[in-house]
């Protein structure tokens, strides 16, 4: 673990926005209340987004040989860009440049006065101590395997293999190489039994009919074909003349002229099924003039070309019949009889249709290999036994593990409609691995092997399965490519052996030394964004509320909450994403667990446990942010807070 910059010479620059902020903020008071270490300077600048401002910044950097910048001003992008540009010119770089959004976190949301100035000073000071304690960020150059493994057979696997082939070697598992694709290798009839390593350097064990093979790839795409089943909700009898959409063949008849076909679509089936049914209906109608009855309950039109095909089919004379209860179907020598209630007619007399064939809508079932593969690859499963949890951050193609992606119906039937598009999107992600080498800054969690007790907490807890055991070092190792820097492991580690470089325990603890009466620990994916939006919308809330930014609510250590109270805070709030929308899947749950523990401690220490609260909110929920912090402040003002 790196230590803080040997020589800290950070400059704090307040942009008063040409005096606009000066009406509200008392910069003189703010500046005088800052705690500066030796080598640190502070200046007020009229307009940092302008050329003169940047010149002044440059001069100051040079004069004081600064190696760190805190820019406190507005939210504007051009300010940030201009300052970053100047910082880069002076070799300071992005990880030693911190921005403080005075506009949204102070000016727009609080009335002028002492508390506001104190808050402005605090948030600036927090940025300053953060930089003071910021270890140099290493640039990593990782050697990886450029090849990608595509697991599966059928359309989805072929599409993604073809796309990936444009940029990197492709290894196909469980499929004979489709003609025309120049694959690096293919392992037909093989099964993935285990995977070790991490994104970029996966080592996959394949069990073939005779022998076991080890294959090294940088990334893995799961594109399993899914079995289809006639929608069980249709309650159709098993009989000749009744087939599922995917098994219906036009070759069934020599001549379709004068024949009749009914399509019956269920409610829960895939778009693919509907699309194929419409395609067949059109062809039967257009080419052969066959009579086509199309039964549906909710016409699916929200998919590629669906609306168009539906309209075209109507024009071409396909008869569309909406039903409420699925048709009653009987089969005899004459054909297939459908008895149904047309909701547009009087319901007392059922309508009838007699056809030669009934083609039924289908639902996708999870591929039978799903559970086994999920275990071997350590990727989570989702609703209905398919792959992929229903989480906005993972959709459409990501798994909980870096370097493992999904294409097609295997992760959810909804994805099956446009596999070509999905294959392209996944190929774009795979491109990262194509060059055999990845450069990235070391911003991910790092294990101090001296402190690591190998308790396996991080290994078991990491939602991204980014932790391996380094047997040589006898310590856990967090893979920099696989780690998503959520910091859950850092907050769980019982040996305090894990740190996130930009949310180091000592940084946050130092920042807590400059925090107000009410501290909102804000996940940057939700709470912080909501707070900044409150600024954009100028929604006022009490100035004693101050924010501590965390990468994920799962990084909010119980020790942070307790330290806040030790420092005299009277309330704390954990602002987290909603349970199912956590980018790191477990963050909300871990925050909730630590909240309970902290509450127990507070209660034992004679402080009302309700003084620490958790609020779930979305990034755009500015009102919820304002409401929750205001409620907490209000309840603090009302109650005495201490039970003894």
Q: Where are the alpha helices (DSSP H) in 136-270?
A: 155-165
Q: Which is nearer to other proteins, 339 or 496 (CB)?
A: 496
CB nearer to other proteins: give 423 or 585.
585
If one counts every other C-beta atom within 10 angstroms of the C-beta of residue 470, the result is 15
Minimum distance of other proteins from residue 454's CB (angstroms): 8
Instruction: Give the interface with other proteins as residue ranges (CB under 8 A).
Output: 451, 453-457, 460-461, 493-496, 558-559, 562-563, 565-566, 600-602, 604-607
Q: Is 79 exposed, middle or buried (0-12, 13-18, 19+ CB in 10 A)?
A: buried
- Output 92 or 518, the one with its CB closest to other proteins: 518
| 3-class DSSP state of 506 | helix
d(CA 492, CA 558): 9
Q: Chain-centre distance of CA 551, in angstroms?
A: 13
Q: Which residues pair with 546 in a beta bridge?
A: 519
Minimal distance, residue 229 CB to other proteins, in Å: 35
Residue 78 or 460: the one with the smaller Cβ distance to other proteins is 460
Nearer to other proteins, 309 or 588 (CB): 588
List b or e across 236-260, with b for residues whose CB sees 16 or more CB atoms inside 10 angstroms.
beeeebbbbbbebeeeebeebeebb
What's the CA angle centered on 137, arms 443 and 433, to 5 degrees? 50
The contacts of residue 582 (CB under 8 Å, 6+ apart) are: 391, 393, 552, 553, 554, 576, 588, 589
The Cβ of residue 344 has, within 10 Å, a number of other Cβ atoms equal to 9
The DSSP bridge partners found for residue 157 are none
CB of 496 to other proteins, least distance (A): 4
> In 3-state terms, what secondary structure has residue 526?
coil
- Minimal distance, residue 611 CB to other proteins, in Å: 11
Nearest distance from residue 547's CB to other proteins, in Å? 21
Tally of CB atoms within 10 A around 397: 22
**Residue 559 beta carbon to other proteins: minimum distance, rounded to whole angstroms:** 5
606 φ/ψ sector (left φ>0, alpha ψ -120 to 50, else beta): left
Q: Between 119 and 611, whose beta carbon lies closer to other proteins?
A: 611
**Shortest CB 525 distance to other proteins, Å:** 24
Q: Specify the residue, 423 or 636, whose C-beta has the smaller distance to other proteins.
A: 636
User: Dihedrals φ, ψ of 349, to 5°?
Assistant: -105, 115
Q: Which is nearer to other proteins, 40 or 557 (CB)?
A: 557
Taking the complex as a whole, the smallest distance from the CB of residue 512 to other proteins amounts, in Å, to 11
Least CB distance to other proteins at residue 452 (A): 10
**What are the backbone dihedrals phi and psi of residue 618, each rounded to the nearest 5 degrees, phi first?**
-95, 165
Torsion of CA 268, 270, 271, 277, to 10 degrees: -90
Q: What's the residue count for the chain?
A: 644
Tell the smallest beta-carbon distance from residue 593 to other proteins (Å): 9
Query: Considering beta carbons, is residue 132 or 563 the nearer one to other proteins?
Result: 563
Q: Residue 209 or residue 494: which is nearer to other proteins going by CB? A: 494
């Amino acid at each position: 673990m790196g230590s803080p910059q040997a020589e800290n010479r950070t400059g704090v620059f307040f942009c008063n926005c040409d005096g606009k902020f000066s009406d509200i903020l008392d910069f003189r008071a703010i500046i005088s209340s800052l705690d500066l270490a030796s080598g640190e300077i502070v200046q007020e600048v009229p307009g940092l987004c302008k050329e003169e401002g940047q010149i002044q910044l440059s001069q100051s950097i040079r004069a004081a040989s600064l190696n760190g910048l805190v820019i406190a001003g507005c939210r504007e992008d051009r300010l940030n860009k201009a300052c970053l540009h100047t910082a880069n010119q002076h070799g300071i770089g992005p990880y030693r440049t911190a921005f403080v959004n005075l506009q949204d976190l102070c000016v727009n949301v609080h009335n002028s006065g002492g508390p506001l100035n104190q808050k402005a000073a605090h948030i600036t000071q927090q940025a300053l101590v953060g930089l003071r304690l910021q270890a140099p960020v290493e640039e990593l150059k990782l050697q990886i395997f450029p090849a990608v493994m595509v697991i599966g057979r059928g359309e989805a696997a072929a599409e993604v293999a073809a796309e990936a082939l444009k940029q990197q070697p492709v290894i196909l598992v469980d499929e004979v190489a489709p003609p025309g694709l120049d694959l690096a290798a293919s392992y037909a009839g093989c099964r993935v039994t285990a995977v070790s390593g991490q994104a970029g350097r996966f080592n996959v064990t394949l069990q073939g009919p005779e022998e076991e093979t080890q294959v090294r790839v940088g990334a893995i795409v799961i594109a399993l074909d899914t079995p289809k089943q006639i929608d069980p909700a249709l309650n159709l009898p098993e009989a000749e003349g009744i087939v599922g959409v995917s098994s219906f063949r036009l070759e069934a008849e020599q001549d379709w002229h004068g024949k009749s076909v009914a399509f019956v679509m269920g409610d829960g089936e895939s778009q693919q099924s509907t699309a194929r049914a419409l395609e067949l209906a059109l062809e039967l109608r257009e080419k052969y003039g066959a009579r086509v009855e199309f039964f549906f309950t909710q016409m699916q039109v929200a998919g590629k070309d669906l609306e168009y095909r539906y309209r075209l089919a109507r024009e071409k004379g396909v008869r569309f019949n909406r039903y409420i209860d699925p048709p009653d179907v009987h089969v005899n020598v004459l054909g297939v009889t459908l008895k149904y209630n047309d909701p547009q007619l009087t319901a007392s007399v059922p309508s009838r249709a007699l056809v030669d064939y009934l083609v039924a809508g289908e639902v996708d079932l999870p591929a039978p290999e799903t559970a086994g593969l999920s275990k071997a690859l350590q990727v989570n499963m989702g609703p209905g036994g398919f792959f992929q949890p229903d989480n906005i951050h993972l959709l459409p193609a990501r798994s909980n593990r870096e370097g493992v992606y999904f294409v097609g119906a295997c992760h959810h039937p909804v994805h099956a409609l446009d596999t070509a598009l999905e294959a392209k999107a996944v190929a774009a992600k795979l491109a990262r691995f194509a060059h055999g080498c990845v450069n990235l800054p070391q911003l991910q969690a790092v294990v101090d092997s001296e402190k690591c007790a190998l308790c396996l907490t991080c290994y078991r807890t990491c939602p991204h399965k980014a932790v391996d055991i380094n047997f040589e070092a006898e310590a856990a190792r967090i893979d920099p490519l696989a780690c998503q820097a959520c910091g859950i492991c850092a907050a769980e580690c019982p040996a305090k052996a894990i740190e996130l470089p930009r949310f180091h325990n000592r940084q946050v603890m130092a920042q807590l030394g400059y925090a107000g009466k009410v501290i909102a620990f804000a996940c940057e994916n939700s709470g912080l964004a909501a707070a900044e939006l409150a600024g954009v919308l100028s929604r006022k809330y009490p100035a004693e509320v101050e924010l501590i930014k965390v990468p994920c609510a799962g990084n909010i250590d119980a020790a942070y909450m307790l330290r806040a109270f030790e420092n005299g805070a009277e309330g704390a709030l954990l602002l987290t994403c909603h349970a199912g929308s956590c980018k790191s899947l477990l963050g909300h749950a871990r925050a909730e667990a630590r909240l309970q523990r902290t509450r127990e401690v507070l209660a034992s220490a004679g402080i009302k446990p309700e003084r620490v609260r958790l609020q779930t909110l979305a990034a755009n929920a500015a009102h919820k942010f304002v409401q929750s912090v205001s409620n907490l402040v209000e309840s603090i003002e009302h109650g005495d807070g201490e039970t003894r």
